[in-house]
A and B are shown apart, each in its own frame.
Chain A
Amino acid sequence: MSPPLDAMRAAGALDDSLVLANVSRRRFVQRSAALGAFVLAAGLVPRARAADAEKFGADGMPHGWVDNPLVFVSVSEDGTVSIVCHRSEMGQGVRTGMPMVVADEMEADWRRVRVVQAPGDEDRYGNQDTDGSRSTRHFFMPMRRCGAAARQMLEAAAAAQWKVPTSEVQAKNGEVIHARTGRKLGFGAVAKAAAGMPVPAMSDVRLKDPSQFRYIGKGNLKLYDAPDIVSGKAQYAQDVRLSGMVYAVVARPEVVLGKVKSYDASDAMKVPGVIKVVAIEASPAPPPLFNPLGGVAVIARNTWAAMQGRKALKFVWDDGPNASYDSAAYKATLQQAARKPGKVVRNDGDFAGASANAVKRIEAEYYVPHLAHATMEPPAAAARIVDGKCEVWGCIQSPQAARNDVAKRLGMPVSDVTVHVTLLGGGFGRKSKPDFAVEAAVLSKAMDGKPVKVVWSREDDLHHDYFHTVSVEHLEAAVDAQGKPVAWLHRTVAPTIVSTFAANAVNEADWELGMGVVNVPFAIPNIRIENPEAVAHTRIGWFRSVSNVPHAFAVQSFVAELAAAAMRDQKDYLLEVIGPPRVVSPRMLGDTWNHGESPERYPVDTGRLRRVAETAAREAGWGRAMPKGSGLGIAAHYSFVTYVAAVVEVAVNAKGEITIPRVDIAVDCGATVNPERVRAQMQGACVMGVAAATLGEITFKDGRAQQDNFHQYEVTRMPDAPRDIRVYIVPGDYAQPMGGVGEPGVPPILPALCNAIFAATGKRIRELPIRDQLRT
């Protein structure tokens, strides 16, 4: 553990006051072998061999989970408890939440807890791929066991010292206490002896009864990193400073899979402060993977000089196979595909037959453009190579993937690469793809191992994102005399994320279809879902809540359209389409994925979906009289094994300008670790949903993303953000499995907003962004 800590200290991420007890390495649970070199979304992990039992949850992720206290916890002699956070912090509060779980079970005093960020090392820590809204639901139980085992070891050490039965010793708030004799010692006094105690076997770990929790579920702790954040001390990748470090910016091919034909660096070299100009080899062939895009780097004494040098470079580009990508033309291509049959991915009953006999048929088509993540911190990474070993510092959601890719690119064993995870200034899925970390390593090598920091500008970030897909969703329904749907057809057409990893992928993967298109839990007898093909022409990647964004937008907008056609209340109609409360296997809904979770432990519960819709509606005062130009809209969606509903209140003025006075959100994610952060995530997801609905669009022309900076890729600012966002958490039970929180707040916002606009104005928005569609 010491080398990375030393390095973190060198980078200024830690101070030197912490004396760590010796942490030996002991595997608590023997896990199955690693599943493969890549750490991707669950769906991209090769399927378990037929002979193996299918694995779910954390068991199904590469490198699974670890719950060994000797890996995660150490106590110094002064009583400071250091707890390792092995997941990346990008604003979801994981560096508060996970250590809080350990501290609670351990009976540590939170005021004396130090959080230590783990480097990328999944053999040691278990899966670290921080995406898919998985950290809490996959690591709540391992971290509880870890904390409880640490507590038992401290108690055993005190018992041995006092020569009393272990059962008579109790840990409480940083102390071990022998009540009978009134003796007590601080954790620090028994830390050394405790580290030598045997780690209890999993079956001997005694977890607290939830009624004894002091931190879990209380929302009573402030964010661990807040004091550093508000004083400017927090360290992000953009902030890394290493001794002797130089700064690099890269001119990358503006078209994915394009190449540099030739370049002239003579003017760039004349810029004061420029040290060297280095070509980065382009990816050899599709798929793009996490490879750097290639191009030419300017290395300088500071970032500004590097940027000026880059401006002075002259290029002849070979734009390659995506040179003609044009998003306006591509939209028409997707629309054509959506109007013809495609690969059938779910077929209940007989859509065609039921449709032919129906009283009325309704159809609608929805469009959601490419989106960029636009994390406030543009990607950045620093690297150095010393004695043949490479160290990387980066804002990385997938540190093991970064480690593997750096090792591969440099031709080093993985064990010779260390990836330190800084704070992430936003992630949203962008920083799951560590192409920027590989760039830093390549450039350090080109500088003979000298520390190099690669700084991405906002333009780099918007031009070279792994973009959210672009989609056309075509829906048809046949309704009976009461206006109730008897047949439902949904064709979803969108380039798949798989295309980033497999050159010829043209259909959505099971895990994209399982994001709210095949698994609509509706009480409709005839349901047909099709997925016509779409060819990707740029790098497609995960964006917070992924395919749920377009799927939920289309499905929840269409239900509201059917309600309007039937002259019914939107909320009542939605509940009727969801149908009576029932527990359904996701497999019965054609969903073979279920966010990687067991279909038995995590069935789809329409009662829970109804409850969030009813809760949001009740709290929002659904049905209240609205002034002219104002309206309420509702949407409910199941994603990341969590149920979320939102009611958006919108006001549209005479000029067609939108304001959002209030949003009411109900979430059922099971029991919570940190309800305060659950609320924060729902509020943040709401603003991100509003940004995507009202403003977000990346367009392409001649293969190039057209938006350069925030004046062209606009995001929601304070005056246009919802003024009041109220969150209601459905109480959960710690005996039941937990759901995700980081992502599921986004999907209902876009349709709820557009449904509210319809209620306010009678205008139906089917193509995003809304931008000036309402302007008069």
Chain B
Amino acid sequence: MAAVNINGKSYSVDVPGDTPLLWVLRDEIGLTGTKFGCGMALCGACTILIDGEAGRACVTPISTLSGKKITTIEAIASDKVGKAVQAAWIDAGVPQCGYCQAGQIVSAVALLKKNPKPTDGDIDAAMAGNICRCGTYTRIRSAIKQASGQGQGAMS
């Protein structure tokens, strides 16, 4: 039995302690917004917040999370930054297939919470771990800038 706090709610799950948070979220609890893309922390599709810091759920054993607060994409709009990022994402027309976007958004929120006015270099550094195979990077950058009040997220 492992106990986890996800989006402000406590869950008790009956899985071995080495089970990654990703599969607890997706298969045991049914929160499928956090995506499986690689299983090796290479693509960022499973990005979640652990006590406010971006982490990769696919390599985070459930046994390491006792006493920690997890935030997933499903609850990312529970504060101002998350709401602003989601709105900017829609406004800039960022998603194509959308599969990686939950992870992209969580990474962007983690960045903006620490660094409300990121430079291009800051954005590169924070987002380099999140792959988008559809190639929406230019719009992700505009959306982050828009959400941080630095210019428009144009749909060009």
Contact = CB atoms under 8 A, between A and B. Distances in A.
B130 A229 contact: no
Contacts of A685: 135
A238 B27 contact: no
Given A376-B43, A426-B134, A723-B138, A230 B101 contact: yes
Given A232-B34, A718-B123, A722-B138, A304 B27 contact: yes
Contacts of A723: 120, 138
Given A219-B155, A303-B27, A680-B93, A717 B98 contact: no
Contact of A709 (B20, B26, B42, B98): B42
Interface stretch (A86-94, A115-123, A763-771): A86-94
Query: In this complex, which of B27, B72, B97, B155 has the most chain A Cβ atoms within 10 angstroms of its Cβ?
Result: B97
Contact of A304 (B19, B38, B124, B155): B19
Interface string A261-292: 00000000000110000000000000000000
Given A425-B99, A717-B128, A726-B156, A377 B35 contact: yes
Interface string B6-23: 000000000110011001
Nearest to B143: A230
B137 A374 contact: no
Interface range for A: 35 or more
Contact of B23 (A92, A303, A426, A687): A303
B19 A683 contact: no
B36 A91 contact: no
Given A231-B33, A718-B141, A457 B97 contact: no
A225 interface: yes
A376 to B, nearest CB: 4
A727 B156 contact: yes
Query: In this complex, which of B45, B96, B98 has the most chain A Cβ atoms within 10 angstroms of its Cβ?
Result: B98
B136 A232 contact: no
Nearest to B97: A91
B33 A676 contact: no
B2 to A, nearest CB: 13
A715 B35 CA distance: 18
B139 interface: yes
Contact of A688 (B15, B43, B97, B133): B133
Contacts of B98: 91, 225-226, 228-229, 234, 423, 425
Contacts of A709: 38-40, 42
B54 to A, nearest CB: 14
A721 interface: yes
Interface residues of B, number: 62
B33 A683 contact: no
A378 interface: yes
A234 B98 CA distance: 8
A234 to B, nearest CB: 5
Contact of A684 (B36, B127, B135): B135
Interface in A684-742: 684-688, 691, 709-711, 715-719, 721-727
A376 B137 contact: no
B112 interface: no
Interface string A219-258: 1001101111111111110110100000100000000000
B9 to A, nearest CB: 15
Contacts, number: 201
Interface string B35-57: 11111101101000000000000
B86 A676 contact: no
Interface in B99-156: 99-102, 105, 120, 123-125, 127-141, 155-156
A618 to B, nearest CB: 17
Contacts of B16: 272-273
Nearest to B27: A302
Contacts of A232: 31-34, 72-74, 76, 102
Contacts of B77: 231
Contact of A676 (B72, B93, B136, B138): B93
A679 B93 CA distance: 10
A458 interface: yes
Contacts of A239: 26, 32
A424 interface: yes
Interface of B: 15-16, 19-20, 23, 26-28, 30-40, 42-43, 45, 72-74, 76-77, 86, 89-91, 93, 95-102, 105, 120, 123-125, 127-141, 155-156
- Closest CB pairs A-B (n = 7): A232-B33, A687-B135, A425-B99, A91-B97, A91-B96, A232-B73, A229-B98
Interface of A: 89-93, 219, 222-223, 225-236, 238-239, 241, 247, 272-273, 301-305, 307, 374-378, 423-428, 455, 457-458, 676-677, 679-681, 683-688, 691, 709-711, 715-719, 721-727
Given A93-B96, A230-B86, A683-B139, 13 more contacts: A91-B134, A231-B76, A304-B20, A374-B133, A376-B43, A376-B97, A376-B100, A425-B35, A458-B37, A458-B43, A684-B96, A687-B134, A717-B129
